[in-house]
Amino acid sequence: MKAAIFQGPGQMVVKEVTMPTIQKPTDALIKVVRASVCGSDLWWYRGIAKREIGSMTGHEAIGIVTEVGADIHQVAPGDFVIAPFTHGCGKCAACLAGFDGNCLNQEPGGNAGYQAEYLRFTNADWALVKIPGQPSDYSEDQLASLTTLADVAATGYHAAVSAEVKPGDTAVVIGDGAVGLCGVIGAKLRGAKRIIALSHHADRATLARQFGATDIVEARGDQAVAEVMELTGSGADAVLECVGATSAIEQAGKLARPGAVIGRVGVPQTEPTANAFFWQNIGLRGGIASVTTYDRQVLLQAILDEKINPGQVFTHSFTLDEIQAAYTAMDQRQAIKSLVVVSD
């Protein structure tokens, strides 16, 4: 089968590799229909983070189940499914508490190799999310939105949940990438009355407004803080930090009113000091999204009901053979997010 392979910083290729097989009774094999490139993939693509040369890549996909292990009872061959980057077992303390992104029974390395024609998926019985019907029942736009449910839509929603966004709140979203834009969606779904998006790019600001942002702040640094304070008077009830830079987390603290909560989903470069948050009674929480939980509880139905359309974050589409171009488009900020069309 064909699979995307990391050849070194800035270098992606497609190679023929051995087909995956069922290795455990809790596995399923999936024929990938759509995959995507994540902003976090750019860390190792740019050489900022380490990745093994020659490794398969990708952690977001939707597809068709082709084979299942002996302990799989909730999905069957032929089912159309979301393959989350998380592999929750549904039974451990973390999963039962609603934090399947932190499943205590995840298999190391399980969330890789999605940018390929076929995927071995671990903890498949609970973690996979069934989509009604078949890919042919959906438009290209709908398939794109369904693909976001493997990661980015759920991650943005997790920022809103972690920030404890409530009906009537004023929320600020830091980051105008795909996760931040989905954070806008998440804040709106949870009832925020006012959503202020920090965005320095006209196309992303336009999309943020389409997703529910009521205000756009284009300024950076202290000027952005001043403008948010002018809009809110005392700061935001909730702040969604969707970048991961230490400076972004520190800025979030300046944007929050006393007693507010910052929900962070950007992978932090370093942890900031919490001293500033202490003196303002500001909470800081967040981490890996509970993808299966959110998809089942809220997000899948919201897409099926056409209440949300997160697939608009995919501004460029590529075939698997064009994987280098898919990464280049995101690396050079030509695309907000790259969709990879693998099969029909």
Per-residue pLDDT of the chain (344 residues; tens, 9 = 90+): 999 999 999 999 999 999 999 999 999 999 999 999 999 999 999 998 889 999 999 999 999 999 999 999 999 999 999 999 999 999 999 999 999 999 999 987 677 799 999 999 999 999 999 999 999 999 999 999 999 999 999 999 999 999 999 999 999 999 999 999 999 999 999 999 999 999 999 999 999 999 999 999 999 999 999 999 999 999 999 999 999 888 899 999 999 999 999 999 987 766 666 677 888 999 999 999 999 999 999 999 999 999 999 999 999 999 999 999 999 999 999 999 999 999 98
Looking at the structure, tell me whether residues 60 and 114 fall in a common domain: yes
d(CA 155, CA 183): 8
The CATH number linked to 81 is 3.90.180.10
Phi, psi values for residue 195, rounded to 5°: -130, 115
For residue 315, give the amino acid letter: T
155, 138, 1, 72 alpha-carbon torsion, rounded to 10°: 70
The CATH number linked to 168 is 3.40.50.720
**Which one, of 161, 162, 163, 170, lies nearest residue 229 by Cα?**
170
Looking at the structure, tell me whether residues 99 and 177 fall in a common domain: no
Looking at the structure, tell me whether residues 178 and 254 fall in a common domain: yes
Looking at the structure, tell me whether residues 140 and 192 fall in a common domain: no
Q: What is the pLDDT of residue 1?
A: 97
Q: Which residue range is the domain that position 195 belongs to?
A: 157-286
Q: What is the pLDDT of residue 107?
A: 85
Q: Count the domains in the chain.
A: 2
Looking at the structure, tell me whether residues 98 and 216 fall in a common domain: no
Does residue 173 sit in helix, strand or coil?
strand
Looking at the structure, tell me whether residues 217 and 204 fall in a common domain: yes
Domain boundary pick from 265, 286, 307: 286
d(CA 30, CA 119): 5
Domain boundary pick from 286, 301, 318: 286
Q: What is the pLDDT of residue 108?
A: 79
**Which one, of 83, 78, 77, lies nearest residue 134 by Cα?**
78
265, 188, 223, 281 alpha-carbon torsion, rounded to 10°: -60
In eight-state DSSP terms, residue 150 is: T
Domain boundary pick from 252, 267, 286: 286
Looking at the structure, tell me whether residues 187 and 312 fall in a common domain: no
Looking at the structure, tell me whether residues 212 and 249 fall in a common domain: yes
Looking at the structure, tell me whether residues 51 and 134 fall in a common domain: yes
Q: What is the pLDDT of residue 273?
A: 65
Looking at the structure, tell me whether residues 220 and 128 fall in a common domain: no
For residue 104, CA distances in Å to 26, 94, 123, 152 come to 15, 7, 11, 22
Q: What is the pLDDT of residue 268?
A: 73
Looking at the structure, tell me whether residues 259 and 200 fall in a common domain: yes
Looking at the structure, tell me whether residues 294 and 267 fall in a common domain: no
